[in-house]
Chain A
Amino acid sequence: MVNSLVREKINNSDLPENTRKTQVEQARVAREIKPAPPRYRNELAKYIINRSNACIHCGKCAEVCPQGVHILKPGYKLFAAPRLNVCIGPSCQNTDHYCVDLCPQKALRMVENPMMKVLGDYRWTPDLILSTWKMSETGSAPPVEFGYEREFGNSGGGFDRIKIKFPEKPPIEVKPEEVDTTLELNRRNDGRPQIKLDVPWYGGGMSFGSVSNVTQLSKARAAVAFNTFTCTGEGGYMERLRPYDDHTITQVATGLFGVREETIQRVRIVEFKYAQGAKPGLGGHLLADKVTPSVARMRETVLGISLFSPFPFHSVYSIEDHQKHMDWIKHINRHALISAKVSTPTDVDMVAVGSHSAGAHIVHIDGGYGGTGAAPDIAKKNIAMPVEYGIVKVHDFLTREGVRDKVTLIASGGLRNAYDIAKAIALGADGVVVGTAELVALGCIRCARCESGRGCPRGIATTDTKLQEQITVEWGSQRIINLYNAWRNDLVDILVKLGMRSISELRGRTDLLMHMDYTNDVEPTK
């Protein structure tokens, strides 16, 4: 890369110093773990306890259960509805407080909740959804007694078949508090700020319009608490996000909705969205029903008209154009890092190297199974490859080109938990972007109706004022903070088991992975 397109030093000397201005006081959010109980009256649970009419209301079950599943309020004759979501299920049989066995009338019966069959899907299995809810509630991993399969989904490929090989005993002993999970974003050494995140992930772009501003603010507050970032998506920069400027990435996407010089100058990272994993080769969609007055104002468009962003950037048909694009932003804000978000075509490796040579600090590859507010089904299923392949391809190619340590490679598209994050990093990414998981923390059940009518019935991906009242910013940010905390604990736990002091040691360590469909007999090269 001697003849790299970029001549940073020359550019820098021509630029004014004061191009970045955050004009409002920045919010502080403490990284405090507090219980954030589920917001629905009847929480979904994996197991149901049925009470027959043989029950004599003796109260034995309520007495023995340490979780407090059965509730017999003083002064009441009958039991209240059981709190099934705290029941640990059949694994309780091995304890001395299994209510079903202890009931003198044998009036209790435990069955698997038949609703689990319709909850979730192949990627987000009921177990993954329920365990994510638990993590968002408590801030730590659900106890193993719950029996959640929280590492793998059921898609039958990619991360769901890749496993981390833990040694029986870690090669070196590392204490959890020594583990470093930080992620350095600027590796170009170009005089722009060194930004370091406390965790190796940041929040994905979700525009105002596709999600509510409560959702955006919750994400932003959690990002502040964990010294990481959230992203505005392509729908403009909400005024209410300004106290979080230092932890916000603003997106320049093909629709250029709400992109102004002033919004570019507020932030520390600017992201170019060339493509999105859920709809590679297509522009963003926002269906008419979701273009409410506030969304239309923000995007400077007409009320109630569907918005289709073009594809691609019609000003970018080569790496040289791409560089010109980045230079434009670099001139407007000379302290910002630039991220290029691309999806995963066959030649994603070339795209990544090209982006690097054009001057991107971060190359963000968004795989085919990423989330979206609305995309044609045909695109979600069929276009471009899953990110698991993309990471390996890009990492290898960047390494061969000798620029691997000059780029921060970020992966996204179907990452659901700390294990996926660790696997993505072991495959070769530096860090990841998460999106859907944050929404699940807020109560998303992946019914895939984000695009419909008034939008999300769960009040997350909607701009309907009534529906979004279901969530408060305090509750929402606490849920995401809790989830982040649980993930970080999980990651630290993984690193301790592997005997690593830093997450950066894990990068590219494919020798620590195994694929359940393979013979796994390749000699490690590292």
Chain B
Amino acid sequence: MPDKYHIKTKSMPARRPKIGKVGIVDWREDCAGCRNCVKKACVFDRYRQEAEYIRSLNDMDSIFFQCMGCFSCVQQCTKGLLALSENPVYSRLGNRYWTPDIIETTWNQAETAKIPVSGAGYRGRFTGPGFDSMWTDMSEIVRPTRDGIHGREYISTAVDIGRKPAVLHFNSLNVNHFPLITIPMPLVIDLMPQGYKLPNVVGLCKSLAAQTGILMIVDYRDLELLGNDLDTSLPNLIFYIDKGAHLPPHSLLKRVRMVEIGDDNQIDKRISDIKAINPDIVVAIRVDMGSEGVVRAKELGQKENAEVIHLVADINGDQIGVNQPRFIKDMVREVHNFLVSKGIRNEITIIAGGGIALPEHMAKQIICGADLVGINLPLLIALECVFCQECNDGVNCPADVRNVKESYGVGRMVNLIAAWHDQLIEMMGAMGIREVRRLRGEVGRALFFEELEEATFGKLFGTRKN
């Protein structure tokens, strides 16, 4: 058995006060000045911490809002002077897809590297758009699908990237040759989307990739941002070569394991050019999921020289540039099913990106047909980004990502990846699946809202109105 994949983590306390969900509004007026003020009785000791924080405050750039919302002091104050209130800063975080809850849990995971655990039942909505319209399954008594009696330490999250031909062709004693890269987790670090590019984040991601053994896609034109120790990080880099951009120098191409090229009508030539320089290189094709994305992906999936296709939706997981966008999971599922029906799904690797905000999205996207996923923004949020969407050159960044120390930034990102890895294992353990390779397209381990509604309520209540 190979060495167990393990990510070393270290607690990385936040540099800045966290933005909490609720806070206490305190009308000091009319305070009776009780000696046993309810504030002293706070189970979470928040009042004392707040007082200490305020005393240590250098600049008034933020507020302390870490009330746990238990209402105890509100309900016990002799004069009823305290009130609990929504933190408007919190509720304004993010956008419709990147909700405040997603941002908060990402911060916490980046800090502690732990799986978020809480009490009480699920508090959210019954179902929702995107990934919230499906549940993953679990294995119960009658389906001894758990792979033997081994525990989760035997679950493998490794995936292969590259082409796996169904049959071998012999050509004057040379076997047709496609290289394969195995990474320990079904995750690559994708390019930061337009408008979220901060130069120093590239360097941080590079160290993250090296530390966790995953791969990072980096625009070849950003080569100078990668720093001097390029040699050690080359195995973890995927150079992205945009449409029409020049190829990197041969010396570099010969040393890198994988490149990604922008999709256009020149890809055949591009692939053969690159392969001519380095036959051991894996070439991925990046397809933007616009109006023609699905059609194009199906087309590419059938090409014999295509090894990896990387399907990219926008940051919210939506189809790009259409009025009624489809969600990434549905588009990938269609492509996957098409390739399965053609009998060629196993030959190609699909990376899906866009809208992967939580570890469950990774698992669900894989169930919907991707081999692995690409993420970007969660890593930025790990650096305490508040998702203001105004990165520009980073001068006005509220989280001051520009000046993040390398050890701190990489540590936070590593923590996040470790927490995601643990949560993926948690879900796979529940599903009774021992290999993430086998999770791909395994819709038998998922429950889809539409299908469940149809199967159970459809026959009872008729047709669903929308």
A residues near B, CB below 8 A? Answer: 40-44, 81, 114-115, 117-119, 121-124, 154-158, 160-161, 274-275, 277-282, 285, 287, 310-312, 314, 316-319, 321-322, 342-343, 345-348, 350-351, 354-355, 368-386, 388-389, 392-393, 413-414, 436, 444-454, 456-458, 461, 467, 510, 513-515, 517-522
Contacts and interface: CB of A to CB of B under 8 A. Distances in A.
B70 A378 contact: no
Nearest to A287: B117
A205 B347 CA distance: 49
B121 interface: yes
Contacts of B42: 457
B462 A385 contact: no
Which residue, of B74, B118, B465, has the highest number of chain A Cβ atoms within 10 A?
Answer: B118
Contact of B141 (A118, A312, A368, A413): A312
Contacts of B432: 281
A453 B44 contact: yes
Which residue, of A160, A281, A310, has the highest number of chain B Cβ atoms within 10 A?
Answer: A281
B302 interface: no
Given A322-B141, A389-B452, A381 B84 contact: no
B84 A343 contact: no
Interface stretch (B143-151, B256-264, B268-276, B377-385): B143-151
A446 B122 CA distance: 10
Contacts of B68: 447, 449, 452, 457
B2 interface: no
Contact of B431 (A124, A281, A436, A451): A281
Given A285-B117, A381-B122, 14 more contacts: A41-B76, A42-B77, A118-B85, A156-B126, A157-B126, A277-B121, A312-B141, A345-B138, A368-B135, A372-B120, A378-B115, A449-B119, A515-B457, A519-B465
B277 interface: no
Interface in B444-466: 444, 447, 452, 455-465
A203 to B, nearest CB: 15
A342 B462 contact: no
A163 to B, nearest CB: 10
Contacts of A345: 137-140, 143
B464 A518 contact: yes
A510 B120 contact: no
A498 to B, nearest CB: 17
B124 A521 contact: no
B70 A458 contact: yes
B429 interface: yes
Nearest to A155: B126
B118 A347 contact: no
Interface residue tally on B, bucketed by range: 35 or more
A370 B118 CA distance: 13
Nearest to B361: A382
Contacts of A158: 126
B119 A448 contact: yes
Contact of A314 (B69, B136, B149, B460): B149
A517 B457 CA distance: 10
Contacts of B44: 449, 452-453, 457
B80 A81 contact: yes
Contacts of B72: 457-458
B79 interface: yes
Given A155-B125, A446-B120, A343 B138 contact: yes
Contact of A380 (B77, B122, B431): B122
B71 interface: yes
B223 interface: no
B105 interface: yes
Contact of B121 (A40, A161, A388, A414): A414
Contact of B71 (A121, A368, A376, A445): A445
A482 B112 CA distance: 43
The interface residues of chain A, by DSSP majority, are classed as: loop
B124 A121 contact: yes
A295 B146 CA distance: 32
Closest 5 CB pairs of A and B: A281-B430, A450-B119, A157-B126, A281-B138, A40-B75
Contact of B140 (A343, A444, A517): A343
Given A115-B84, A450-B120, A351 B141 contact: yes
Given A41-B75, A115-B85, A377-B116, A382 B427 contact: yes
B142 interface: yes
Contacts of A81: 79-80
A372 B121 contact: yes
Given A81-B80, A378-B115, A383 B459 contact: no
B100 interface: no
A316 B141 contact: yes
B126 A275 contact: no
A63 B391 CA distance: 61
A159 to B, nearest CB: 9
B138 A118 contact: no
B77 A41 contact: yes
B6 interface: no
A274 B141 CA distance: 8
B119 to A, nearest CB: 2
B135 A447 contact: no
B69 A447 contact: yes
Contact of B85 (A114, A124, A447): A114
A384 B119 contact: no
7 contacts: A118-B86, A119-B71, A371-B120, A378-B426, A379-B426, A382-B427, A389-B457
Given A117-B86, A389-B456, A448-B119, A348 B360 contact: no
Contacts of B156: none
Nearest to B115: A376
Contacts of B78: 41
Contacts of B136: 382-384
Contacts of A370: 121
Contacts of A287: 117
Given A322-B141, A345-B140, A451 B118 contact: yes
Interface in B338-382: 358-360, 363-364
A81 B82 CA distance: 13
Contact of B70 (A161, A285, A447): A447
A393 B459 CA distance: 12
B22 interface: yes
B127 interface: yes
Nearest to B446: A346
Given A281-B431, A348-B140, A378-B426, A520 B124 contact: no
Which residue, of B120, B143, B455, B457, has the highest number of chain A Cβ atoms within 10 A?
Answer: B120
Contacts of B126: 122, 155-158, 160-161, 386
A41 B80 contact: yes
B130 to A, nearest CB: 13
B35 interface: no
Nearest to A523: B462
A154 B123 CA distance: 10
Given A115-B74, A123-B123, A461-B119, A522 B462 contact: yes
Contacts of A312: 139-141, 146
B122 A457 contact: no
B230 interface: no
A114 B24 CA distance: 12
Contact of B43 (A342, A375, A454): A454
A373 B457 CA distance: 31
Given A117-B86, A281-B430, A275 B70 contact: no
Contacts of A277: 121
B447 A372 contact: no
A385 B83 contact: no
B360 A378 contact: yes
Interface in B19-65: 21-22, 42-44
Contacts of B465: 517-519
Contacts of A317: 141, 144, 146, 149
A378 B124 CA distance: 12
